[in-house]
Amino acid sequence: MNGRSLRVLFVASECAPWVKTGGLADVVAALPPALVTAGLDVRVCLPYYRSLRPEVGEAPPVATVVGALVRKARLPSGIIAYLIDAPWLFGRDGGPYQDADGSDWPDNAQRFGLFARAAAILASDETPLLWRPDVFHGHDWQAGLGPLWLKTSLPKPAPSIMTIHNLAFQGVFPAQTMEALRLPPEVFAVEGAEFYGRLSFLKAGLHYADMLTTVSPTYAQEIQGEAWGCGLHGLLTRRRADLTGIVNGIDDRVWDPATDPLIAARYDRDHLAEKAVNKASLQRRFDLALDPARPLFAMVGRLTWQKGVDLIAEVADRLVRAGGQLVVLGTGERSLEDVLRGLTHRHRGAVSVRIGFDEALAHEIEAGADIFLMPSRFEPCGLNQMYSQRYGTPPVARATGGLADTIDGVDPEGCEGSGFLFDEPMGTALWAAIERALGAYRTPTCWRRIMVSGMRKDFSWAASAERYRTLYEGLIRDAGRPA
Ligand code: ADP
């Protein structure tokens, strides 16, 4: 590279603040600037969804690939973004993967097939751009065909790395999709992109990429087992030498109670009294009884089986009987939304639910709640438990994936640690952990220690960015390029 910075192209379907449905968007927004700080040259490749137009501002076309325009724009962080503008695929109202009614777009294979192919070309000798990456870094199934194209069809391909943010989403399509996407027929094999007679975008990425990562060491272990391997545990076990777990960081400028403009009163670990102002404000906002002494529990996130929302519903009556209050913000499965609505009717003034996606309210909840609930059945990394520790709102969480790796569990009788962990994905186990949290909460000195120990933790991206840098350098060495 003759002394120039190592170049990495991030290829992903989401990037905050432009397009976000979950944690992937936060990672793709925050990791590139951290890598730039570490001395790398990182750019991001995204589909040019219609919803991006008002956000992006001017984005001049700089090239054409596979019939799509490549537009160039700058993210608010200053990172350069290449936007794949294929209006027949992305120029429509609705979400990135689904229409306004929540049904998957019927042409998702075409949409992300073309997107990944265009991005792969940008990382090969066929690129029309002057800036050519040393590494292709794909994220989740939407980028999965990129490594396949690089390995099988493109001249002088950059080495590739795939990051699994959630193995449960795989982008599996009928076998005929192979032909529609003009994929080389020989890749439709068990040692390739075939998944039980169908085409799997994620499997393609995991098979053809040179290196694999996922977003926590514990999840990297869990997905090699049948229970959480989603049918890909065999492949992941075979490739375990190439699979690394690196915990996500958080954007600690956006999520900082000392400077957060979205919360009622700012505070830090030396000024914890102000947290009470946020609690009162949250109780008001959710029409809860205004009572500083009642422990206020919260959950923010997708309302799905994965997140253990049913377990929260199971313990809600007991939680209210124990004097607690509960607020929930999220959207997801209709049946779970209905269960939560039922709880609010039964426990007016004690349980309150907002169905929707509201970033500002998520900040208010992190600041105003006393205890954060995250009883996920599986959690590749999870961000909310890090936000909540930083906001002095200790989490009660299942010891899985990134939750196990980022929360220091408080011992049964102790006050050392930053949250409360439990093992079995059952209401009784969640309740036992909540009881431990309530015990600590009622002992103010103990509670304060737990709060402060979470607030002291370093969740910044710097350490993880260094680990990615080491991986990229290794990849380039293995690919026989000058490092
Ligand atoms: P996942 O990516 O599995 O949905 P994470 O905890 O990794 O879960 O990341 C979810 C991100 O999305 C967090 O930043 C969280 O605060 C945010 N989020 C999820 N649902 C909502 C919502 N309804 N309103 C506001 N923010 C939300």
Same domain, 238 and 327: no
In the Cβ-directed half-sphere of 319, how many Cα atoms lie within 13 Å? Answer: 29
Ligand 1 centroid, distance to 46 Cα (angstroms): 20
49 domain-assigned = yes
Side-chain-facing half-sphere of 119: CA atoms under 13 Å: 35
pTM of the model: 0.93
The answer as to whether 367 is a domain residue is yes
Alpha-carbon span 143 to 128, nearest angstrom: 20
> Which residue type occupies 473?
E
Verify that 19 and 110 share a domain, yes or no: yes
Atom number of ligand 1 nearest to Cα 302: 20
Atom of ligand 1 nearest to the CA of 354: 23
Asked whether residue 140 falls in the same domain as residue 159, the answer is yes
The verdict on residue 2 lying in a domain is no
- Domain containing 400 equals 275-455
Q: Which element (helix H / strand E) includes 81? A: strand 80-85
Residue 263 lies in a domain: no
Helix (H, G, I), strand (E, B) or coil at 99: coil
d(CA 245, CA 380): 10
Centroid of ligand 1 to alpha carbon of 357 (angstroms): 9
Examine residue 262 and state whether it is found in any structural domain, yes or no: no
Q: Which residues pair with 20 in a beta bridge?
A: none
Is 389 within a domain? yes
Distance 327 CA to ligand 1 centre (A): 15
Are 218 and 328 found together in one domain?
Answer: no
The residue among 313, 269, 276 whose CA lies nearest residue 296 is 276
Residue from 219, 328, 377, 383 to probe ligand 1 pocket by mutation (most atoms less than 8 Å from CB): 383
Domain count, the chain: 2
d(CA 328, CA 303): 9
Per-residue pLDDT of the chain (483 residues; tens, 9 = 90+): 668 999 999 999 999 999 998 889 999 999 999 999 999 999 999 999 999 999 998 899 999 999 999 999 999 999 999 999 999 999 999 999 999 998 999 999 999 999 999 999 999 999 999 999 999 999 999 999 999 999 999 999 999 999 999 899 999 999 999 999 999 999 999 999 999 999 999 999 999 999 999 999 999 999 999 999 999 999 999 999 999 999 999 988 889 999 999 999 999 999 999 999 999 999 999 999 999 999 999 999 999 999 999 999 999 999 999 999 999 999 999 999 999 999 999 999 999 999 999 999 999 999 999 999 999 999 999 999 999 999 999 999 999 999 999 999 999 888 999 999 999 999 999 999 999 999 999 999 999 999 999 999 999 999 999 999 999 999 999 887 544
Q: Which two tokens stand for residue 357?
A: 């996606």
Same-domain pairing of 386 and 344: yes
The Cα–Cα gap between 382 and 384 comes to 6
Contact 442, 100 (CB under 8 A): no
Q: Atom of ligand 1 at shortest distance to CA of 384?
A: 6
Residues with CB under 6 A from ligand 1: 22-23, 26, 300-302, 329-331, 357-359, 362, 381-384
- Which protein residue's CA is at the shortest distance from atom 19 of ligand 1? 301
Does the residue 130 lie in any domain? yes
Our measurement of the distance from residue 70's CA atom to the centroid of its chain's CA atoms, rounded to an integer in Å, reads: 26
Do 373 and 387 share a domain, yes or no? yes
Task: Write out the E strands in 186-319.
Answer: 194-195, 198-200, 211-214, 243-245, 296-300
Residues 6+ apart with CB under 8 A from 182: none
**Do 449 and 468 reside in the same domain of the chain?**
no
CATH of the domain at 180: 3.40.50.2000
